[in-house]
A = this chain, B = another copy of it.
């Protein structure tokens, strides 16, 4: 059997940058992350697929020191220090009324989309699923830009929504610290991954 790196069509450098050598960062260097880099990430990962092209992900980029001071008390204590040390924090949320913007993302079927997701009991789970797919594309994009991502849960989501988007439709579900890793990165050995046989069952 050939090496799995050969079965794949992307080169080994890309495989390493995106997956094999990439590690979650818990400390960061002082080097800033530019708007140009975030725009380049978006221009790549915006093409990732979502159901009916709904693209429910919205992102609050916390760059200023003042915005960090507002965020810190809303984070789990274990996440505060690394979040303050990151040059850029992306708060990932979904638009709870994404379905009303079909004119933008599915012009030929805007009304159908609005109707299909009119009921909140179906709409919110759909937003969570599709925004989570986009969150993963975003992590891949951060790595594609040569940066390290530090995804996190563990915060007061409703508190963050109210602090940064009062009265709005932004619903926080995840955060990603972004930057060049600190000198002590990675801080821990990589944890074990499941084998193929653990995950896949063939029928």
Contacts and interface: CB of A to CB of B under 8 A. Distances in A.
Interface of A: 1-2, 4-5, 7-11, 13-15, 17-20, 22, 24, 35-49, 51, 53, 55, 57-64, 66-67, 70, 104-107, 125-126, 128-129, 132-137, 139-140, 144-146, 149, 151, 153, 164-165, 173-174, 190-194, 196, 198-203
B196 A42 contact: yes
Contacts of A105: 191-194
Query: Copies of this chain, how many?
Result: 2
Contacts of A199: 42, 46, 55, 57-59
Nearest to A70: B203
B7 A36 contact: yes
A201 B11 CA distance: 34
A144 B203 contact: no
Given A35-B202, A43-B196, 7 more contacts: A7-B37, A18-B140, A55-B193, A55-B194, A60-B201, A106-B191, A136-B140
Contacts of A8: 40-41, 44, 144-146
10 contacts: A4-B40, A10-B13, A46-B193, A57-B199, A58-B201, A67-B203, A128-B129, A133-B133, A134-B136, A164-B201
B47 A9 contact: no
